[in-house]
Amino acid sequence: MEVKTKSLLDNMIGVGDMVLLEPLSEDSFIENLRKRFDHNEIYTYIGSVVISMNPYKSMLIYSPEKVEEYRNRNFYELSPHIYALADEAYRSLRDQDKDQCILITGESGAGKTEASKLVMSYVAAVCGKGQEVNKVKEQLLQSNPVLEAFGNAKTVRNDNSSRFGKYMDIEFDFKGDPLGGVISNYLLEKSRVVKQPRGERNFHIFYQLLSGASDDTLKKLKLDRDFSKYNYLSLDSAVVNGLDDATSFRTVRNAMQIVGFMEDEVQSVLELVAAVLKLGNIEFKPESRCNGTDESRVKDKNDLKEMCELLGIEQSVLERAFSYRTVEAKLEKVSTTLNVAQAYYARDALAKNLYSRLFSWIVTRINESIKAQAKTRHKVMGVLDIYGFEIFDDNSFEQFIINYCNEKLQQIFIELTLREEQEEYIREDIEWTNIEYFNNAIICDLIENHQNGILAMLDEECLRPGTVTDETFLDKLNTVCAQHQHFESRLSKNSKFLTDHSLPHSCFRIQHYAGKVLYRVEGFVDKNNDLLYRDLSQAMYKANHSLIKHLFPEGNPAKVNLKRPPTAGFQFKASVGTLMRNLQTKNPNYIRCIKPNDKKAPHIFTESLVCHQVRYLGLMENVRVRRAGYAFRQAYEPCLERYKMLCKRTWPHWRGPAREGVEMLMADLQVPAEEFSYGRSKIFIRNPRTLFFLEERRRQCLQDLATLIQKIYRGWKCRTHFLLLKKSQIVVAAWYRRYAQEKKYQKIKRATTVVQSYTRGWQARKLLRELKHQKRCKEAVTTIAAYWHGTQARRELRRLKEEARRKNAVAVIWAYWKGLKVRREYRKFFRANAGKKIYNFTIQRIMQKYFLGLKSTLPSMSPIDKNWPVRPYIFLDGVHTELRRIFHLWRCKKYRSRFTEDKKAVYEEKLEASELFKDKKALYPSSVSQPFKGDYLEISKNPKYQKLNSSVDEKVLLADVVNKINRANGKGATRILLLTKKNVVLADQKTGQVKASVALPDLTSVSVSTQNDGFFALRLKEGSASAVKGDFLLSSEHLIETITKLHHIGSAASDGEQLNVDIADEFLVQFKQDKVCVKFIQGAPKNGNGASCKRKNNRLLEVSVPASA
Ligand SMILES: Nc1ncnc2c1ncn2[C@@H]1O[C@H](COP(=O)(O)OP(=O)(O)O)[C@@H](O)[C@H]1O
Ligand SMILES: [Mg+2]
């Protein structure tokens, strides 16, 4: 064994490799397994062999990350794992072009099939990728569920026990990409089809079909979902915990599709499965014949009929085949009847054959699909998942065959391991010492020897004419094999008279390499013969069903072969032989599966059970063989690298060749020379003890080294820490000193400043005093100087003034005198001309300036604007006033020229009113702003006055409500007053009835007061028609307007007679015959403006007008 890196040895639970177990004994071996199992380490090595304990629980060690971890790593680099083995095998296949085989052995339920799947999935994960490659991988992986459905069953040991041996060759191209595969199957346990031990089931497919197929499919297959309807399905454990048959059925169908089964092929397969179930339900009854023998007859023909329909067989043919048997010998045909027992035997034989042939066909069909396409040379990796040793209470032909197979595997194991070992020694130039180990070739010989092997004996018995029974076979064995060391039977080896009572009758015992097994001979002959009556195979051949026809080629009457078909034992031996030859050409990799308990439960380690397996798997032998030469080997470089610290001369560096370094090391450690050998590239260590000694020394040395490193590190750390402290202390001291000095300096500085300030203050004060004194002196000087200068200046001023006055006087006198002189001289000229001219010029200039100035300061064009520029010179007074008048007239004209006729009339009326009343009646100013509306009642529009309006012919010029004063008492009554060009009409206000109508010519005058009242009297011509009742005294709100209008009409009339308007505070009116004086007096101011009227006496009517507020 070669330790390449340290992982296997470091952090190890127990020992990862049993070769290193010390001391080596079965107990320590099992203890190591238990220890690792308890720590969830299910894999352990024996050299390159992997022991796998079934954990019975899902482990987190198969993740894609794990795959990556183990990918391209050396076998011993990581802790033991099945992936390490798969990786090693795959890489040596890919890189070294060595065909590989992976041999997985172990008891049923130990995890072989799981292990084979793990290996396949690992290889699938690490090998090439691509569409085509992935398809191949998928097909290879999907072949598993199909085979498991048809070839696996629930047994007491394993819920998914493979009931056939399987060897699968996976083929790779030179790059390591998978191309395809070939599957070989060995010895399907077909007896299970017709009978299952207690607590076990038939093959999964039966249950899957019934649970998972659609109603439609079941109807087509003439099946019923109820398991209990079928004799071949044991009922006690039809449903298995954790197995979902319905889902599995879908998985299987899907897998079949992926693998490449056609739809009609799947259908045919299911029909055959259904046919087997139907076959089981066919029952027989005896029927006596005339010759006294019993002949079998089918009891209820319904199942038979349905089965025949399914397979397209003629019912009568099959029925006959269950009742008769034709024996052909040398052109002679003899037909014998079958009794009931024989009929049942025939039925079961048919069922078994049907199923096992179907299974073989499925394998062939899968092979067709997964077969490598390219014809180039392949590299091959074989995976063998075959039943392990079986030692039951009752062992029969099957166990015999299985155990034989295991013997052969052990044989090949020994051969290959030893050969490899030997080859390495030769390669490394190490002397080969023979190793003592048990070679089981002798047991193989006992079974398979051509002349006197047990299988040969059995065949001989089967083919022998005459009565052949299991007992005759045992007798034969007793005679032929009695001398063999490994064979035992009740009849002792030496003498027929001495019997071995430990053995029951009709049994023999073989001492296999893995233990003694007692076989019961019952059924050996039958099972070896594996006889199917020809009538049945012919009936099958006649079927109108292509698959079933294909499965029974010997039924073809054209190819009648009178030779007996090869026996089961013979066939098995042949196929095992082929397998062994195949395996021998390959590099073997072993996985040994162990089942920790019988309960299929996790965490339970049943020591006796494990011990038993360890024994029959020959694991101890395995370790011993491994250790027979040198237990441990390692290339010089890694060895030196690992242990160089154990010797002062190789530590820390060895410059020379590695081998010399190792030699130096070993010499220095004084390892006895017989404990190791030097190969060409490796050192070989005989005993694990030596390795452990080295490891222990290394561990101690590592500790010492660690201590040393620690010591040096601590020293260094302390030193640096100290230096740092020291450095820091200096820094701190420096800083502190600086700080203290700074403080001191500042104190001194402050004191100095104080002293300084005092001195400076004193000096300053002194200076100040001096300066002040100086200033005062200066001021005094200035004042004195100022006064002095003042006196001087004033004196000078007086002098200058005096001088100026004199000068001025001189000038004036001079001027007067001069003027006098000039006047005297020029008087005559000046008076005549210049004065007038200057005057005119001046006047002209002034006028010019006046007019230009006026132009720019003219007031606005509004006639009522009273502004006028101020007169500049008194002499312009007249002009200025005249200009103002002209301007006013002019702008009035401008204003008037903009009037329309109506407006003009209105203004004319207003003008008339002004002429009549201005400055004569107090009421007038308040009327100026009121427009003269005329028709206050809107008489033409108002429907109320329609009648009144129509009674007046002319256009109404004024319509207003007036107060008519009762002539008798002076009280007022409201009337409507209408004024037309010809009449004044008074009408009742409510009814609109005309009360009085006065023609205008009848009016002589109108009298009003000077005061602020609305009274007026209409004075009528004496003797006129209207004057019967006398004058009217009325009061109106619109007095000014009314009177003006009246006056206007009068002046506009053709006769030109003017209406007089008398304005006086006293006037006379004619009331009927009386002349009454209407007198207006000033009354007290009253609320409201109304004047009150009172008839005082016959002659007087007094109107009291409130004083205007
Ligand atoms: N590596 C494993 N991890 C988890 N469970 C396992 C493992 N190997 C086996 N088993 C369990 O043990 C059962 C039997 O394993 P199987 O491979 O079918 O046994 P064998 O083929 O040896 O009869 C499986 O169905 C599974 O539940
Ligand atoms: Mg299996």
The pLDDT, as a whole number, for residue 691 is 79
Query: CB within 5 A of ion ligand 2: which residues?
Result: 112-113, 162
CB neighbours of 532 closer than 8 A, spacing ≥ 6?
349, 350, 353
Asked whether the bond before 588 is cis by omega within 30 degrees of 0, the reply is no
- Taking only the tens place, the pLDDT of each residue in 99-141 is 999 999 888 889 999 999 999 999 999 988 888 889 999 999 9
Nearest atom (ligand 1) to Cα of 111: 17
- Calpha distance 324→295 (Å, rounded): 9
Q: Report the separation in Å between the CA atom of 855 and the middle of ligand 2, taken as the mean of its atom positions.
A: 138
Bridge partners of 93, per DSSP, are: none
> Could you list the active site residues?
108-109, 113, 158, 161-162, 388, 390
> Average pLDDT of each block of 10 consecutive residues along the chain (1109 residues)?
46 82 90 94 90 94 93 80 93 87 89 94 89 90 95 89 92 90 91 89 94 94 92 80 90 95 95 94 87 83 91 90 80 83 92 95 95 83 87 86 88 77 80 70 90 89 84 87 83 56 82 86 88 86 91 83 81 91 89 92 93 83 75 82 86 87 88 86 81 82 88 94 95 95 96 94 94 94 93 93 92 90 78 79 91 88 86 87 92 86 84 88 86 82 81 83 84 86 85 84 86 87 77 88 85 68 87 84 67 81 76
- Calpha distance 331→562 (Å, rounded): 10
User: Largest alpha-carbon pair distance within the chain?
Assistant: 217
How does DSSP classify residue 1021?
A: P
Q: Report the separation in Å between the CA atom of 111 and the middle of ligand 2, taken as the mean of its atom positions.
A: 7
- Taking only the tens place, the pLDDT of each residue in 630-681 is 767 788 888 888 888 888 888 888 888 988 999 888 888 888 888 888 888 8
Q: How far apart are the first and last CA of the chain?
A: 148
Q: What single letter denotes the amino acid at residue 865? A: D
Nearest atom (ligand 1) to Cα of 82: 1
Ligand index nearest the alpha carbon of residue 388: 1
Q: Report the separation in Å between the CA atom of 53 and the middle of ligand 1, taken as the mean of its atom positions.
A: 9
Rg (CA), the chain: 77
Nearest CA residue ID for atom 9, ligand 1: 111
For residue 563, the number of C-alpha atoms closer than 13 Å in the C-beta half-sphere is: 4
Nearest CA residue ID for atom 20, ligand 1: 109
Distances (CA, A) of 691 to 21, 385, 643, 671, 818: 11, 35, 11, 10, 162
Helix and strand totals (H; E) in the chain: 32, 31
For residue 914, the tally of other CB atoms under 10 A from its CB is 16
Distances (CA, A) of 416 to 48, 96, 205, 1083: 13, 18, 38, 165
Burial 738-771 (b: 16+ CB within 10 A, else e): eeeeeeeeeeeeeeeeeeeeeeeeeeeeeeeeee
Backbone torsions φ then ψ of 995, nearest 5 degrees: -95, -40
Assigned token pair, 232: 């071949």
The pLDDT, as a whole number, for residue 3 is 40
Distances (CA, A) of 241 to 109, 154, 237, 338, 1098: 16, 11, 10, 42, 150
Assigned token pair, 309: 């329909």
Nearest atom (ligand 1) to Cα of 159: 25
Q: Report the separation in Å between the CA atom of 36 and the middle of ligand 2, taken as the mean of its atom positions.
A: 24
Nearest CA residue ID for atom 14, ligand 1: 109
Q: Which residues line ligand 1 (CB under 6 A)?
A: 54-56, 58-59, 106, 108-114, 158, 160-162, 593
Angle at 471 between CA 467 and CA 477, to 5 degrees: 110
Asked if 1015 and 1034 touch (Cβ cutoff 8 Å), the reply is yes
Bridge partners of 1070, per DSSP, are: 1075
Asked whether the bond before 652 is cis by omega within 30 degrees of 0, the reply is yes
Q: What single letter denotes the amino acid at residue 382? A: G
CB neighbours of 483 closer than 8 A, spacing ≥ 6?
493
The pLDDT, as a whole number, for residue 44 is 94
> Kind of pairing, strands 515-520 and 507-512?
antiparallel
Asked if 677 and 430 touch (Cβ cutoff 8 Å), the reply is yes
Nearest atom (ligand 1) to Cα of 110: 22
Residue 913's H or E segment, with its range, is helix 901-917
Nearest atom (ligand 1) to Cα of 152: 18
Q: Report the separation in Å between the CA atom of 113 and the middle of ligand 1, taken as the mean of its atom positions.
A: 7
Ligand 1: which of 114, 157, 166 to mutate, most ligand atoms within 8 Å of CB? 114
Angle at 458 between CA 457 and CA 463, to 5 degrees: 100
Asked if 201 and 238 touch (Cβ cutoff 8 Å), the reply is yes
- Taking only the tens place, the pLDDT of each residue in 383-424 is 999 877 788 888 889 889 988 998 888 888 777 777 777 778
- Calpha distance 118→122 (Å, rounded): 6
Q: Report the separation in Å between the CA atom of 447 and the middle of ligand 2, taken as the mean of its atom positions.
A: 25
The pLDDT, as a whole number, for residue 11 is 62
Nearest CA residue ID for atom 25, ligand 1: 160
Ligand 1: which of 42, 54, 200 to mutate, most ligand atoms within 8 Å of CB? 54
